[in-house]
Amino acid sequence: MVRLRTARTRTLLLLFCVLLSSPTLFAQSRGKILMILPLSGTSVLVDGKSDPAFTDFMLTREAQVMKAMLQEAGFNVLSATPSGRLVGGAAVSLQPDLKLDDVQIADYVGVMVPCMGSNDPPNTKAVEIVSQAWKLGKPLAAQNGGVFTLGAAGVLQGRRFACQPGDAHWVADGIYGGDGVVVDGNVATSGTCPYMAQANKKPDGTAELTRKFIALLP
């Protein structure tokens, strides 16, 4: 019995040492990232109508890609929408972590606004949150339709930014830098979301935008 207890003790100690030496165990988060999905409903609208298939496409190709990359880089990603209700398409869904009204921007190290679900005009609360984050010096990132939330918040004044060529006039006080990924200071933007990449046969900016955003984060 003594030998058995000793063997167990040694096994437990060995397991503890292996776990303790693991680079991922007990790893400290690099901070929280707020992902704003300013949806007016529970799915993305196309021409004013709910489109579950398009919602699936953008969740899978954009929002989930951004979230996975940020998490792999060590950040805790929280998503927020006006209602806080489940965002779902035909087969894919995402449960927001909180409502935009409940966001305390001081808790986050950066803000990302995907194209998915962007409103026209931009959601007022989303604009307010981005403006607060900007005043606190937090890095920001936005893609395609999400770029106009940054523009409405005054973030792009005098700065280079990206969006689709035909939409550049909506940011009159910014400097248009094309539809690829543009970084100016601690602001990263992309004009080519997965949908526009497919429609225009151009490279999707999602992964590159996220990488550039990560490089800006503390």
Q: SS3 for 38-98, per residue?
A: CCCCCCCEECCEECHHHHHHHHHHHHHHHHHHHHHCCCEEEEEECCCCCEECCCCEECCCE
**CB-count burial class (<10 Å; 0-12, 13-18, 19+) for 196:** buried
Structural domain includes residue 116: yes
Q: Give the up-direction half-sphere exposure of residue 130: CA atoms within 13 A in the CB hemisphere.
A: 28
Q: What is the mean pLDDT of residues 204-210?
A: 98
Q: Would 171 be classed as within a structural domain? A: yes
The first and second tokens of residue 199, run together, are 């429609």
Q: Tell me, what DSSP letter sits at residue 27? A: P
- pLDDT mean over 20-29: 48
Per-residue pLDDT, 212: 98
Which residue intervals of the chain are DSSP H helices? 2-21, 52-58, 64-72, 124-135, 147-152, 194-200, 206-216
> pLDDT tens, 170-187?
998 999 999 999 999 999
Please give the single-letter amino acid code of residue 146: G
Residue 161, domain member (yes or no):
yes
153 domain-assigned: yes
Q: Is the pLDDT of residue 203 over 90?
A: yes
Cα within 13 Å of Cα(64), Cβ side: 13
Residue 27 to residue 196: CA distance in whole angstroms: 37
User: Residue 29: pLDDT above 60?
Assistant: yes
Structure tokens at 103: 């966001």
Give the DSSP H/E element, type plus range, for residue 187: strand 187-190
In what order do the strands lie in the sheet containing 181-184? Answer: 98-99, 76-81, 32-36, 108-113, 140-143, 187-190, 181-184
Residue 2 forms part of a structural domain: no
Task: Say yes or no to pLDDT of 47 above 70.
Answer: no
Give pTM, 2 decimals.
Answer: 0.85
pLDDT tens column, 94-105: 999 999 999 999
State yes or no: pLDDT of 44 exceeds 80: no
Answer yes or no: is 23 within a domain. no
Q: 181 with 189: CB under 8 angstroms?
A: yes
Please report the pLDDT score of residue 39 as a whole number.
Answer: 81
Q: What is the pLDDT of residue 210?
A: 98
Establish if 188 belongs to a structural domain: yes
Mean per-residue pLDDT over the chain, rounded: 87
Q: Is pLDDT of 196 > 60? A: yes
Is 10 a domain residue?
no
Mean pLDDT of 65-86: 96
Task: For residue 41, give its domain range.
Answer: 29-216
**Residue 98: per-residue pLDDT:** 97
Specify the number of domains making up the chain: 1
Average pLDDT over residues 30-55: 81
The answer to which of 14-28, 49-63, 66-80 has the lowest mean pLDDT is 14-28
166: CATH: 3.40.50.880
